[in-house]
Structure 1
């Protein structure tokens, strides 16, 4: 579903992506791990076209991204943002139905509200939450609302940017379980970026390790603990000693 060929991106003298090659099969959940500042979020933004890569090719379902109709292309995606990114001035249901109220996926207002309430139920929130505002919700509830919005338009591809950041371990486990269930139910292709190893083990079919601008290792989740790759072993065990500098 997603193929990245030699993706490169620099910001001035900072070479963030130095030739990323990665394939994500349809219907699989890929988790990209790596330290802070290694370019994981930049990579997602390159795929979405929010940041233009300096070189390389991105294919979605066999089609080159730069040759696709922009609005139709983006309609295939859903995204759960790291900070929730909810609109404070809109009630919860309008946040969830944001895409359904405008543009390519536009629906009648009553239908959009009905879909939003159904998606809120799917993530474990009651219908009465629909008319609250984000500021009235806990961090865990806001994250669920963000997840409901990510799936509202039934996307083929979903990105999760640090989905458990700021959550306590119990709520993080709830969000991980919801993500796994929803991706499986929808048959969606997913890419998650995270530092949280519990999320990796809960969500991933395959794992890719991004370091120094390239994919250092990729493989099925079952091989994560047994791979001899020194970058992976240092990262997943949180060791100070290894090929990844402790100070960056």
Structure 2
């Protein structure tokens, strides 16, 4: 469904991606792990066309992303942003139905609201949440609203950017399990970037480690524990000493 072919990207003298090769199969949940600043978010932005690689090609469902018609192309994607990225001035239902009120996906207001309430129910929120403002909700509820928005337009591909950031361990587990349920239920292709190994264990079918601008290792979730790669081993176990340098 998504193929990265020799992706390079530099920002001035900072060479972030140095030849990324990675394939996500249709319906697969891939989790990208790696330290801060290794280029995980840059990978997502290159797929969406927000960043153009210096070298290499990206294909979505066999199509070169640089040749795609933007509206139709972007309608394939849903996104759960790291900070939620809800619009403070809009009630919850309008946040969820944001894409359903614009462009070629536009629905009548009543229909968009009905879909929003249905998606809120899917993530475990009652209909009475629909007319509240994001500021009136807890962090966990805001994350659920963001997830409802990500699935509102029935996307084929969903990106999850650090989905448990800012949540306590209990709510993190709830969100991880909810993401896994939705990915399986909808049959979407999912790409998650995270530092949270609990998220990896819950969400992933396959895991890829981005380090030094390349995919250092890629394998199944179960293979990760005995990958044989010292970078993966250090990251998974959170060791200060190892081939991944730490800055103090």
The CA RMSD over aligned residues, in Å, is 0.7
Q: Give the aligned partner of residue 111 of structure 1.
A: 111
Aligned pairs for 1:2-21 (under 5 A) are: 2-21=2-21
1:70 matched residue in structure 2: 70
| Residue range with higher mean Cα deviation, 49-58 or 67-76 | 49-58
Task: Give the Cα–Cα distance (whole angstroms) in 2 for the partners of residues 222 and 134 of structure 1.
Answer: 38
* 2:226 alignment partner, SS class: coil
Query: Aligned partners of 2:18, 2:79: CA distance in 1, in Å?
Result: 25
- Count the aligned residue pairs: 248
Which runs of 5 or more structure 2 residues have no equivalent in the other structure? none
Measured after TM superposition, the shift of residue 104 of structure 1 is 2.2
Matched position secondary structure for 2:225: coil
Show the counterpart of 1:137.
137
Q: Whole-Å Cα distance in 2 between the matches of residues 220 and 103 of structure 1?
A: 38
Structure 2 length normalisation: TM-score?
A: 0.99
Q: Which runs of 5+ in 1 are unaligned?
A: none
Aligned to 1:128: 128
Q: CA deviation at 1:39?
A: 0.5
| CA apart distance, 1:223 | 0.1
Structure 2: distance between partners of 1:170 and 1:4? 35
Q: Distance in 1 between matches of 2:245 and 2:16?
A: 16
**Structure 1, residues 135-163: CA drift from partner, whole Å, max 9, x if none?**
11110000000000000000000000000
Question: Aligned residue for 1:164?
Answer: 164
Partner of 1:30: 30
Counterparts of 1:38-53 in structure 2, within 5 Å, are 38-53=38-53
